[in-house]
Structure 1
Amino acid sequence: MSVDETSPIFVISVAAELAGMHPQTLRQYDRLGLVSPTRTSGGSRRYSMRNVMQLREIAQLSSEGVSLEGIRRVLGLEDEVTTLRARVHELEAMLADEMLNRPGRRVFAAGSHGEVISMRAGTRVRRETAMVVWRPLDRD
């Protein structure tokens, strides 16, 4: 099992301590839909590090006078930006693949044994660095 920033690993008391809040505040934010932790099969909340970072951001925005509705909007826009960035990366990869496979855009090279190698534009064939020593036969 790999653990990343979205892995739900913290119980509410630990998440509250990491965020510098009271557990009841986390429950309220969950009811309001500001931060939605995952639930175990028994119904317990499990928070990820990303959730904790959102809670810290909520505390910061709240201390600056932003209303809960304003905070909801900010968090929603940040989620949208994250989603759009992922989509842009996906589309860039698809475009790169398309450009590579488009006729006339592929580069070919000859391998060390005469075979044809398809390559990406701008790359080089890896050269072999083996040395061959030739010695003439002794003929008497």
Structure 2
Amino acid sequence: MSQKVAYLISAVAKMLDIHPQTLRQYEKEGLVEPSRSDGKMRLYSAEDIDRVREVLRLTRQMGVNLAGAKLILELQSKISYYESLLKEKPSKNALVKSAKYEIVFLGGKNKP
């Protein structure tokens, strides 16, 4: 049986060279959800740390705000989910519907 490694907020902050308050803000915004110890201390998994790294990349390198980063991460998660469904054998419980979106250009004429 393998144990999962978990990191305290101070270790993650030092590892990523950010302030612990940044991690608290990311949790408040719903960008990361670390587990909690019995004493209510935040415990970050490797997956949590990867997610924080992605938020940092989006905000620092791509210029995306936190709301945009959250939306991007949610869409990436949905894409991964639907890709996994497509790789499975079709079943009666797995139904993937396609959606049609209309793009509206603001400040000009709508283009087809």
The two structures have a TM-score, normalised by structure 1, of 0.56
The SS at the match of 1:70 is helix
Aligned to 1:21: 18
Aligned to 1:2: 2
Aligned to 2:8: 11
- Residue 72, structure 1, aligned to residue 70, structure 2: yes
The SS at the match of 1:54 is helix
For residue 73 of structure 1, what is the amino acid of its counterpart?
A: L
1:86 to 51, 60, 84: 84
Aligned to 1:114: none
* CA distance, structure 2, for counterparts of residue 20 and residue 86 of structure 1: 34
The SS at the match of 1:46 is strand
* CA distance, structure 1, for counterparts of residue 40 and residue 79 of structure 2: 30
For residue 71 of structure 1, what is the amino acid of its counterpart?
A: A
- Compared with structure 1, are the counterparts of its residues 81 and 20 closer, same or farther at alpha carbon in structure 2 (3 Å cutoff)? farther
- Compared with structure 1, are the counterparts of its residues 76 and 18 closer, same or farther at alpha carbon in structure 2 (3 Å cutoff)? same
Aligned length: 90
The two structures have a TM-score, normalised by structure 2, of 0.68
* CA distance, structure 1, for counterparts of residue 36 and residue 27 of structure 2: 11
Residue 53 of structure 1 and its aligned partner are, at CA, apart by 1.1
- Residue 39, structure 1, aligned to residue 61, structure 2: no
> Deviations for 1:44-95, whole angstroms, at most 9, x for unmatched residues?
1110111111111111111121011100001111222232333334x23x77
Residue 9 of structure 1 and its aligned partner are, at CA, apart by 0.8
Structure 1 residues without counterparts, runs of 5 or longer: 96-140
Relative contact order higher in (CA < 8 Å, ≥ 6 apart):
2
Across the aligned residues of Structure 1 and Structure 2, the Cα RMSD in angstroms comes to 2.0
Residue 21 of structure 1 and its aligned partner are, at CA, apart by 1.3
Identity %: 34
> Deviations for 1:5-30, whole angstroms, at most 9, x for unmatched residues?
xx461111111222221111101111
